[in-house]
Amino acid sequence: MDKEFISRIKEINWFANCGKAPRTKISFEYIRVGNWKAALEQSEGKYWELITQEADNQLSEYLLINHPNRYKEWNKYAQKGREVIDNFVVPNVTNYLIDNNLPYSLLDNVRWEFIGAIMENNYRNERQPAFFMELFKVYESGNFPCGWEGRWPKGKLIVY
């Protein structure tokens, strides 16, 4: 695991900038929603789930075809990634959810998107990070990436 990346995870000020424009440059065009209700409607939608699954599938398929020996390490990286998430993401996000009376389903999305970012980061020498690292930048900015408008992969990221 990349220690610099883990440090970046530890530094996230969770959801501190929600409702405002991300303070970092991301490669996707984006639109904003203005409240948690709208953000949760997007993040809990089937379309967002399908898009994030497709992005994950694209990475694993690429590795399987082009870097089969590195692909064999997938489960090892995923396990280490889950440990990082359990130690540094889950406690902070859980506290935020409790403090703001938000549903725990939000934590499931964060976990999934962070494992994707960790995997893209781990395989960055084999394939340029594309989707989940962009979501990571949104989280790092204190926002919440919560959906997609338009037909994937064209369209716009929805951010709270």
What pTM was computed for the model?
0.95
Percent of the chain with pLDDT over 70: 100
Q: Would you say residue 67 lies in a domain?
A: yes
Q: Would you say residue 116 lies in a domain?
A: yes
Q: How far apart are CA 160 and CA 17, in angstroms?
A: 8
Return the pLDDT at 132: 98
Report the b/e string of 55-86 with b at 16+ CB within 10 A. bbeebeeebeeeeeebbeebeebeeebbebbe
Q: Would you say residue 113 lies in a domain?
A: yes
Q: Where are the alpha helices (DSSP H) in the chain?
A: 3-10, 36-43, 46-66, 68-71, 74-84, 90-99, 105-122, 132-140
Find the domain containing 125 and state its range: 3-8+51-143
Residue 30 neighbours by CB under 8 Å, 6+ apart: 22, 156, 157, 158, 159
Residue 13 has pLDDT above 90, yes or no: yes
Q: How many domains is the chain partitioned into structurally?
A: 1
Return the pLDDT at 114: 98
- Over range 143-159, report the average pLDDT: 96
Return the pLDDT at 38: 98
Residue 66 has pLDDT above 90, yes or no: yes
Return the pLDDT at 1: 81
pLDDT tier at 130, thresholds 50, 70, 90: very high
Residue type, 88: F
Q: Would you say residue 128 lies in a domain?
A: yes
Residue 150 has pLDDT above 90, yes or no: yes
Return the pLDDT at 45: 95
Q: What is the CA radius of gyration of the chain?
A: 15
Q: Would you say residue 109 lies in a domain?
A: yes
- Over range 72-92, report the average pLDDT: 97
Q: Would you say residue 79 lies in a domain?
A: yes
Return the pLDDT at 143: 98
Q: Would you say residue 26 lies in a domain?
A: no
Return the pLDDT at 15: 98
Q: Would you say residue 76 lies in a domain?
A: yes
